[in-house]
Amino acid sequence: MDSTELREAAGGISEWARRVRELRNEEGYQILSHND
């Protein structure tokens, strides 16, 4: 999943880093970023 897909999945939220954390912690998604 790239940032564009993630932004769409997050409902167009511009601060998608917050949504990444939510998906990792609450939904159990394994999402890697440049920091991982």
- Count up the domains in the chain and report the number: 1
Helical H runs in 1-36? 3-9, 16-22
Mean pLDDT of residues grouped by 10 in the chain (36 residues)? 74 72 84 68
pTM of the model: 0.43
Cβ count near 26 (within 10 Å): 8
For residue 25, the model assigns a pLDDT of 87
For residue 34, the model assigns a pLDDT of 63
For residue 35, the model assigns a pLDDT of 66
Q: What's the domain range around 33?
A: 1-36
